[in-house]
């Protein structure tokens, strides 16, 4: 049963520290998404990759956030420096484009981040 994995599951850090979140997409998937979920804003798309190339990061604060895919099995989301307002659950999702429509996204369990 293939799944998206994310590490760490929980992270508590102090304001100003760097935070790195990692995601392993499902083998064979060619799209990766990063989302942020908060009570106030709901689910927000931060970044989207296809075939490891960033296609959309318009939802991401550019001054402190960065997203990369160093290889097909690893996606990273970094926050530097972190701020209390970054506290949220960060989800990674992967999928496979087919052009036929109806492509499903498979979500990881999330990283719960608390910035003090």
- 97 belongs to the binding site for another protein (CB under 8 A): yes
Secondary structure string (H, E, C) spanning 12-78: EECCCCCEEEEEECCCCCCEEEEEEEECCCEEEEEEEEECCEEEECCCCCCCCEEEEEEECCEEEEE
Q: How far is the CB of 8 from another protein (least distance, A)?
A: 15
Among 55, 80, 84, 114, binds another protein (CB under 8 A): 55
- 12 belongs to the binding site for another protein (CB under 8 A): no
Residue numbers of the site for another protein (CB under 8 A)? 4, 31, 33, 42-43, 45, 48, 50, 55-56, 91, 93, 95, 97, 99-110
């Amino acid at each position: 049963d293939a799944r998206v994995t994310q590490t760490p599951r929980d992270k508590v850090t102090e304001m100003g520290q760097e935070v790195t979140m990692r995601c392993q997409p499902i083998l064979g998937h060619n799209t990766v998404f990063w989302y942020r979920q908060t009570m106030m804003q709901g689910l927000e798309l931060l970044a989207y990759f296809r075939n490891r190339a960033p296609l959309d990061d318009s939802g991401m604060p550019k001054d402190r956030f960065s997203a990369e895919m160093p290889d097909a099995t690893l996606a990273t989301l970094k926050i530097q420096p972190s701020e209390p307002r970054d506290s949220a659950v960060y989800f990674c999702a992967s999928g496979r484009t087919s052009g036929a429509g109806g492509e499903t996204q498979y979500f990881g369990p999330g990283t719960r981040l608390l910035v003090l």
